[in-house]
Structure formats: C-alpha cells, structure tokens
Structure 1
Amino acid sequence: MAKRRTKLQMLQTAPPSAQAAQTAESVRLEFLDYLRGECHLAENTIAAYGRDMTRFVQWLGQRRFEQITVDDLTHFMGVLHQEGLAPTSVSRCVVTTRMFFKYLQLEGRVQQNPAELLAAQKLWERIPGVLSAAQVETLLHAPRKTDRFWQRDRALLEVLYATGCRASEVCGLQMRNLHFDQRHLKCTGKGGKQRMVPLGMPAISAVQQYIDQLRGTLAGRTTPSPSHVFLSRTGKPLDRIQLWRLVKRYTRRVGITRNVSPHSLRHSFATHLLAGGADLRQVQEMLGHANIQTTQIYTHVEHSRLKKVHNQFHPRA
C-alpha cells in the first residue's frame, strides 16, 4: 500500500502556482477547521484562537513557518505585550501558538516545534479582578423595580455569582436544565461538556420570580417559543454582549469604578469559596476547568488578599 504523503511533501513537488496558493492565511483556516473537527472545541474558543492566529499571520509576514525559532516566538509575545494586549490574552496566544505548531508537526509542515520551548504561560498571567463580598451584595441589589426588566436582571446577577458560570453558559441555559427541587442547574461549558452546579436559595428565588412575572411575556414576543431561560426584550435568547452591557450598567449604578465584567463574578465566586475553606478540586469541578492549574490562580488571589491584610494590620509586617 502506498505511503501517505504529507502536505509538505505534496507542496514541494507541486508546480510554483500551487505552492504560492498555499499561503499562511490558508494554513490558518485549515488549523481552525482542525480545532473544530478534530479537537471539538467550542465555537467561542475557536473564534478566540482565530483572532490569535490573525495576529500571528500578520506578524509572520513573508517568513515561512519552518524558519521560526523559539526566540522569534518569544519576541512575538513581547510585541503583543508592548501593544497593550491584556496579559490574559497574551497568555492565550501562548496556548494558541503551541497548538498551532503541534498541528504543523502533525501535518508534516515542520520537523521541529519551537513553541514547546515557549516561555511558560504564568509569565503572562495576572491575578484576575475580584469583588469583595460587600461589593457583590451591593451589585446583586442594583436592579430596581423601576427598571424595565428588573426581575430578569436580578436573576441574571444572582445566577452569575451563585454558580460561577461563564457568560456563554448563563446565556445558553435552558429551562429544562433548571432543577429547583434539587437546588442545582445543568450547564453546557467549553467543548459541549455538561456539569451540575449547585444553586443557592437566593438565586432560586430570583429566577423563580423572573419566570413567574416576566419570562412568559418576553417569550410571547417571538415564535417559536424559546427554550432559553434568559430572554431579551424581543423574546430572543440573551447574548453575551447584552449580558456584558447589563453588568456594566449596574456596576456603574452602585459606584464600582473598577473594570467589571460577567467574568468578574466568576472570579469572585471561586475566590470567595476558597476563602471560606472549599477544596480546590471541588472548586475546579464547579467551574468546569479541565486542568486544576487553571483553578490554582484563585489561590494566588486569596494569598494576595491575606498578605494585604497582614501588611495593613500586623505590627511586625
């Protein structure tokens, strides 16, 4: 049986016109198809990796993939940092680049993988912004009865903090996945993975009030009737941008000036659990992290808070 030729070998024997057609952009698109078809990543993750790859292709210019060294990649990460890209975004670029060069190896386009030696992700991390328990409490009561959709908005904020779910998970929450009698909900996370997350009584009460008083009205504004829990004013499922704007509006209302997003409530959820003595593995399970190293960043958050308290109040600090 004939041995399968790699794409690199086929390109080397192809006419010049065919070689020219195989641009860095086309390889980028093939890589995204690989993430979708072979790795089964979530569409939001693929979109983020796509943005990273667009930056990489622009930086690459006329250079060939096989010419890139680890020093080149380190310089690329430094350029992103100098351009003001958020540390968390630079950190994700490290992951994207590693995956991309692994893909190039699998396809036979490169022999070596310089991204394996790329500086560790922790060099680009920063401790996520976390709200205090008092700030969270104030934010949860920010929606007023004079607001048009206050029942929905209060329920949204309660669920974000009570569960630590991602914005996309809350927006995608289905009515059939609410289990008030068992005090939990089932959400669908990255890669289509589902998990059960406990739901406290304040959140249950807020969601039940929203369902009883408002959701039916919103659902009646579109056909067919939507299965999602949280709906927009037109009756369609609420999207992440709308949720982000709602959180921004209510943080401004209560005077929280720091940069707060729906993800800030996820950070606060994890940090407050660990501060209360929760086991790291349990928090990992509730957050839906595949790797416990991702969860461990919240231990750094808690340690930094304790250090601040120590420095402020201990006489020998």
Structure 2
Amino acid sequence: MASAEVGIISTIENLLQGQVGSARAKALLETLEIDRRLLSSSDTASRAELAMALNILLFDDLLKRVPTAARIVAEDVAFGRKIVFDHGALRTIDGPLGAFPRGHAAFGRLLEPLGYRVDALYPLPKLNMTGRAYVHRDLPEAVPQFFVSELHLDRLDQDARDAALRVFGQTQDVLDSAATEALARLEQEGGLPSAEAGALLKTLLAAFDRHHPEPALPDYETLLLHSKEAAWIATEGHAFNHATTRVPDVEALAQQLKARGYPLKEAVEVSANGRVRQTAILADKVSRGFRDAGGKRIEREVPGSFYEFISRDIDPATGSLDLTFDSGNATGIFAVTRSA
C-alpha cells in the first residue's frame, strides 16, 4: 500500500493491530485482497473500513476453528494467491433468546450502522429457515456480504421447541450501552474516531460467538432429530458458519481440491440464473461440551464450521458482478454440516 512507503499504516491495519497485534495484522492484509479505496490512513475510521476490519477478523477466527480452511488458505498464500473474501454466513434463532434479540434483527442492529442493508430474502423452507443477504452500500463488491439465516422455532414440533427454549432461553447480550451509543453515532456520522472504532470493533467481534450455556445432551439430541441446523447453533452459537472465497472457476477448483484429497461436497450448486456457482469442504469436526442427564459435563465430537468457494458472473442487465444468492444453492451448501 502506498502509505507504507512513508511509514504510515492504513486505518484498517491500525484497527487490526488493536485486536490481534502487528504481525498477525500484516499477515491478514497480505492474505486477503483488499480494495485500495479501503487502505487510506486517517484518525477516523469510516463505516466501510470498520466493516472490512470486522470481516477480516471474523475470517481469521474461522481459520483458527477450521484447520482444513487454514490449510487451503496457507497453500494459496504459498503460491502467491490472495483470497477474495466474498461473504460470511451465520445462523440465528427466531425464537425466545433471553436477553438476546431474536433472529436476524440481533445482527441487523450491528450491520446496518456499518453501512449494510438487506438486499434480498431467501426462503429456505426445507430447513425451516429464511436467509437474508446484507450487502454494503458503499462498496458492495469490495466489502464482504453477510448471509444471515434465521431458524423459525415455531415451525418445529413441540418437543423441539421445548428443547430449544431450554438451550437458547438464557442467551446473553454482549452489546453494552457504550457500544449501542457508538453504533448510533456511526449510523449518523458514517465514521468514528479510531480509538472509539477500536473499542466498538472488540464488542462487535465478541457478538459472533456462543452466548448461551453448554446444552444438555438430551436437548441437543432432540434438536438434532428435528433440525440439524438448530443443533449446530446449540454448540456453535453465532460464530461464522462458513466463510466464502470468490474464485474465477469453482468447478475447476473443486476438481483440483478433490484430486488433492480435500473432502468436498459431491456436486457444485448452480443458481437458477446460472450466474452463481458454489461448493464447500465438509465441516471440520470439533469437540464440544454437554451436560448429561445427571448434570455431569461430557464432550462429544460434532460438526463445526466450514469453508466455501463461489464463482460469480457479470449480470448482463446491470453490467456489474451478480452479488445475489440462491435458495437452492444455500439449502445444498447447508448440508455440509450434516455430512461432516
């Protein structure tokens, strides 16, 4: 970046350093393709810069939790290829969550002040879910999207709803008054002084985690029977379900990764308009804690998060990259946490 020549770091690098230190911040910026418009230096962080910093840190968090993704990314870096981070996805519960707002609204209140808007809704009836694509207003192709899906508890059987209430009913909210005030100012002014932006970033990052107690194993097994997506949220919470890299030819990449022994889903998902194509590695297994019927803590292996690949063509109607999603694609991709 141009600012490095005079020893000045970008606003985004400064934000990253405050969270992960200088060395990791530099490594992440060298790993990901960052639009030059996001690499200026100022005492004020714009909403786009803050949104990009959050995305970079969430990408980093996923790499820590998904060793297979970390290995693929390391191979790309070794070959001098930068990652184009297309979008991250998370799952929410549309139901009683204690102190935490229900469904997509819990994250809409964070994303909208960062410059995001809901671009489209994607019904996922086979999963009893609805997906929402949050696209950035300022730099829609350069700042990663968020795909936020919510599981509708009222569509599940009563025993599953009862188990969900026990699992999710004590979810804590990490958004304190200082963060709420900072988000309000960010929404009004479009930016924050760097120190305030760094403090807000720390709280925003903390929101993408599990904030309910470890589930009782019988409740988890009930959820697993009725909704594997609900069971996934029971152990993983609001962490990124997956992060997605944008590649020129996902079909060719899928064949290459399979030949190298990576556990990919069987087929590439193709959108109804043919312009969006996706595939993913199967979710890595993780060890998670549960309480058995007697209250004793035990650990089990369950599906964790995963890494996805997407190719997007130009939309001839607009001349711009097709940033849409597809309900059929999303339903097919969700299956990789079932097949892990």
TM-score, normalising length: structure 1? 0.30
Pair member with larger Rg? 1
Greater percentage in strand: 2
Higher RCO, Cα 8 Å, sep 6+: 2
Greater percentage in helix: 1
